[in-house]
Structures are given as C-alpha cells and as structure tokens.
Amino acid sequence: MDDAVIRPMRDGEAAAVVALWHAAGVSRPWNDPETDLAFARRSPHARVLVAARGDRIVATAMVGEDGHRGWVYYLAVDPECQGGGLGGAMMEAAETWLRGRGVWKVQLLVRADNAAVRHFYEHRGYRDTRTVCFQKIIGEAGA
C-alpha cells in the first residue's frame, strides 16, 4: 500500500473527503455527501477512516454497525492512486474496526451495473446475497 497512513478522519477534513468522493465517483446526486458525512461523524456507532499521504487524503471508508451487522459505505480511492492496494487496505481497516466492536458480519451495497467494483469485493470474499434493498424516506436529511 506504500506510505499512506490509515486513520480516523479529523475535524477540518470534510471538504477534502467530499472532494475525493466526487473525484472517485462514489457520490450520487440524490445523496448529499456533506449530510452523510456529518451524520456518520456524530454517531458512536460509525467511523470515517481515511488514508493520508502527508496532508493529502487519498482514500476513505465510512464504516458503521447497527447492533446486528456492520456496513461499509463511501469506499473511495483517488483516481490517481487506484490499483495500488489502497482500496483493499481500507476494507481491511474497516473490517478490523468492526471486529473490534464484536461485529462478525459486514455488508455493503454495490450498484448492479458496476462490474469492476463487484469483482473488487468478490475477490475479497464478499458474495451477492440475492436480496432486494427497499428504501423509504421518512424525514429530512440531517433533521
């Protein structure tokens, strides 16, 4: 993975994290990344991990647990740094954080048409559970 250091996100790094999410293509117009980031950072059940080279954030993973399972969101690697093992290192760090909390099962969501990302996770032992995810908006984001 080279000289990047994986650590929890620090105050003042939100703009860099969100910029990386946009550059890596993991944000979507219907999700406000600033709201998602703030929500995760205020929860004792979540952590935003970053890989940094000096002051530059080159990868992220948002990890959390819901009392039953662990979840990983916003795994992102700077496009200039992809292919060097940072994504795998971030997943390992996220899994380590979850195991440290007693979580034994981790889940994540991948868009069905994203074959490259599906392969990335399958290579790491993740399997398609053949389930359907339902969603309902029940309030305002961040309220």
Percent of the chain with pLDDT over 70: 97
Beta bridge partners of 77: 59
Q: Which domains, and CATH codes, for the chain?
A: 5-123 (3.40.630.30)
Q: What does the pLDDT average to over 49-66? A: 96
Residue 47's SS3 state is strand
**Is the whole model's pTM more than 0.75, yes or no?**
yes
Alpha carbon 88 to its chain centroid, in Å, reads 12
Beta-carbon contacts of residue 65 (< 8 Å; ≥ 6 apart): 45, 46, 71, 98, 101, 103
- Rounded to an integer, what distance in angstroms lies between the CA atom of residue 17 and that of residue 52? 11
Confidence label for 73 from pLDDT (cuts 50, 70 and 90): very high
Beta bridge partners of 6: 51
* Joined tokens for residue 73: 């969101």
* Joined tokens for residue 52: 């940094």
Beta bridge partners of 49: 8, 61
Cβ contact 60:109 at 8 Å: no
pLDDT tens string 93-129: 999 999 999 999 999 998 888 888 999 999 999 999 9
pLDDT tens string 7-31: 999 999 999 999 999 999 998 888 8
